[in-house]
Chains A and B, each alone.
Chain A
Amino acid sequence: MSMRPGKLWSRTVFLLILATIASTVILPILYFLTISFASNYEAYQFPAKIFPTFSYSAQLRYNAEKDSYTLLLKKGSTYEAVKTTQDVSDFSLYCKSQLNVLLSSAAVQELFNKAKNTDHALPIKLKKDFFRNYIVFFILAEGSMCALFNSLKAAGWTILISLILGGVSGYIMARYKFKFSNTFSTSLLVVRMFPAVALSLPLVVYIMKMNLYDTSFALAIVYAVPNIALTAWITSSIFKGISVELEEAAMVFGATRLKTLMTITFPLAFPAIIASSLYAFLAAWNDSITALIMTNNNPTLALLVYRTVGSSTIPNLPAAGAVVLLVPSLIFTFIIKNYINQLWGKVAL
């Protein structure tokens, strides 16, 4: 069977696009989700599982000569011995910490008795406590609700500062031509080139002098610096998309410049401006370096995740922390999803 070259070509492109989406979006998210639900035992396994598991197929064997019990977990087609013990509480602890399986001492004792009365290995099914990592994370990360609130506050202030200052610069860039206006817009981008650390280290001195150290507002100031430039560029393209004649019409028909801005320009640009706040939100939400320098007792959620699980050698707890951090971003994006299409100057007319 032969295929027309054109069709083959378009099929190849389609598959390439599919592969790109899979490798950049779906697989990483899936990996994070699976790892965040994995127990320590599973996290060490190679290759890693694609989907999270809910239970283990296991066997419990009684060793008569040593009077001990061996737990075997199914790996491929064989069973692998993972724990040999005589003690009920030792077994229970192992299940809890390594397998995310909650078994009371009584339940373990019952299993032991059953295994002892069987000649060969006793097949059992161990049910995983699915959200164990998240529970552990929240237990470890003390004050996580407080940190979540701090993060939201910092993000809110960042959005506010970026949109007000960046929006005004964006409007000026879009509507006024003056000497060096191109230099002005390009130089805005230079601000984005400063590393966050380089900005926050000197700033922390001034912040302390202003009695703003360890506050969300101080954090927002640092976050806003590079974001003002970005917001200015985004909003300027939004304002360029709104016809000047619409503003002129308002002014001819009796509106002041301010009234025109408030009743014509702003309502038209509003959806796109909201969408551009996504950038400010993400910058504030995902940062931990600046927060490390600028806060002490009031960490943000991202910093808390870093402090709690940043030094962990097993990836499952950090993954759970990452997912905790990801969810509010997803919710925010979901709320403004209708506006995102109007970003980059696509104003519905």
Chain B
Amino acid sequence: MSYLKLNSLKKTYPNGVTAVKDIDLEIEKGEFVVILGPSGCGKTTTLRMLAGLEEVTNGSIILNGRDITHLPPRQRDISMIFQSYAVWPHMTVAENIAYPLKLRKMDKHTIHSKVQEVARICNILDYLNRYPAQLSGGQRQRVAVARALAVDSKLSLMDEPLSNLDAKLRTSVRTFLKEIHRNTGATTIFVTHDQAEAMALADRIVVMNEGKIEQVGSTREIYNQCGSLFTAQFMGTPPANIQKVSLISNQERLIANDKNAETQFSLDLGNQSAFPGIDRYIGEEIFLAIRPENINISEPKGINETSIEIVEPQGAYTILVTKVFGSEWKIMLEGDIDIRIGQKVSLIIDPGKIMLFDAQSKKRVNFS
């Protein structure tokens, strides 16, 4: 029995919009799970149902063996960090942290020592007597974290807690949150639309799209073994290069042709033996996805030839834009590459890094 279990959770709003369709998810104690998805995918609604702030239309939520589906928020033993920090402006920092403890009827000394303890952890000891209006955004978020820490809840929820912070602060608070999690081991569900945040923080990432879970897995799995076309499109900066192609076999080599055959471009994907079980897709249409960093270039060798159209130096790496199948493909190469625009190159693709998706179901085609 897992620690937190969502059984076919569903949310339909009174206006008929279904925000969450049948979510099944199991989370182990101490896990840091990030729910990742574009805006409107139902990730925040899912979190709010966990918190008890949205009514559950269908399904159930089991936390630590207790059905909390229809309990009011206060009886769920959870803590939450909000996007807008939600620190109460009429209370000092110390009062903010102490308020949930007072509601739990703790005695004054326990509250005082607890406030001191979490304030030290969150590095806000100097601000305990200030009001939130006198603090910066980052400090306010630390207060919100301290408040959540102080209650020792069974489940810690975070609703895009970093998105109101500026870029520089975001990475430092991110590190801080990870450190807090390492020290407390609190079971955490973190909602975000920022994949960098998700990949940096998560033990497991839950990718959501249109109210459904697309894929659940570790950062590595989500990034390198995308379960669906959506994940491949969504993950990565820049995202994977995707093209609908038809596969043909030519002298034991797997060739991808442009679906519309307009551009006459064909991409050699390597030895067919690298794709066991690909036979049934020969002659069929399929989605081909390759991450920009999994493409390399060499001197023109007669196959997979194309020319460089745009060069975007980024310091640590360089992004090259080429035309493949008539659409722009991005190639990411380490270091500062010295290359001319218009230069002819051959693309080198590692067959093991190629991802293929079924044209109908848009699910990953597995070979093994």
How many residues of B sit at the interface, in one of the four size bands? Answer: 20 to 34
9 contacts between A and B (CB under 8 A): A245-B82, A246-B88, A249-B88, A252-B78, A252-B80, A253-B103, A254-B104, A264-B88, A348-B89
Q: Which of A203-260 contact B (CB under 8 A)?
A: 243, 245-246, 248-256, 259
Q: Is the CB of A254 within 8 A of B88?
A: no
Q: Would you call B89 and A349 a contact (CB within 8 A)?
A: yes
Chain B positions 58-102 with a Cβ under 8 Å from a chain A Cβ: 72-74, 78-80, 82-84, 86-90, 99-100
B42 on interface, CB distance cutoff 8 Å: no
Residue B151 at the A interface, CB < 8 A?
yes
Q: Which of B80, B82, B90, B157 has the most A CB atoms < 10 Å from its CB?
A: B90
- Most A-side CB within 10 Å, residue of B84, B89, B151: B89
What CA separation (Å) do A252 and B133 show in the bound complex? 22
Question: What is the bound-complex CA distance between A264 and B103, given in angstroms?
Answer: 13
| Residue pair B86, A249 in contact (C-beta under 8 Å) | yes
Find out whether the CB atom of B89 lies under 8 angstroms from the CB atom of A251.
no
Assess the A253–B82 pair: CB atoms within 8 A.
Answer: no
Interface presence of B51 (CB below 8 A): yes
Quote the shortest CB–CB distance from B141 to chain A (angstroms). Answer: 13
Contact of B86 among A245, A267, A268, A348 (CB under 8 A): A245
Once A251-B74, A256-B74, A268-B90 are accepted as A-B contacts, the answer to whether A243 and B84 lie under 8 Å apart by CB is yes
Contacts of A243 in B (CB 8 A): 84, 86
Q: Which residues of B contact A256 (CB under 8 A)?
A: 72, 74
Q: Which 7 A-B pairs have the closest CB atoms?
A: A253-B100, A254-B103, A249-B86, A245-B86, A252-B80, A251-B73, A254-B74
A263–B79 CA distance with the chains assembled, in angstroms: 19
Q: Is the pair B80, A249 in contact by a Cβ cutoff of 8 Å?
A: yes
Q: Does B147 contact A (CB under 8 A)?
A: yes
Is B52 located at the chain interface by the 8 A CB criterion?
yes
Q: In whole angstroms, what is the CA distance A252 to B156 when docked?
A: 11
B interface, CB within 8 angstroms of A? 51-53, 72-74, 78-80, 82-84, 86-90, 99-100, 103-104, 132-133, 147, 151, 157
B53–A252 contact, CB under 8 A? yes
**A interface residues, Cβ below 8 angstroms from B:** 243, 245-246, 248-256, 259, 263-264, 267-268, 347-349
Of B80, B147, B151, chain A has the most CB atoms within 10 Å of the CB of B80
Give the CA-CA distance A251 to B104 in the complex, in Å.
12
Bound complex: CA of A259 vs CA of B133, how far in Å? 23
Contacts of B88 in A (CB 8 A): 246, 249-250, 264, 268
For the complex, what is the distance from the CA of A217 to the CA of B170, rounded to whole Å? 58
- Would B72 and A268 count as touching, CB distance under 8 A? no
Beyond the given A248-B51, A252-B51, could you list 8 further A-B residue pairs with CB under 8 A, ordered by the A residue number?
A246-B86, A246-B89, A251-B52, A251-B74, A252-B52, A252-B157, A253-B99, A263-B99
Q: Are the CB atoms of B100 and A254 closer together than 8 Å?
A: yes
* Shortest beta-carbon distance from B186 to chain A in Å: 15
Nearest CB in chain B: distance from A73 CB, A: 62
A157 to chain B, nearest CB (A): 29
Most chain B CB within 10 A, of A256, A267, A347, A349, is at A349
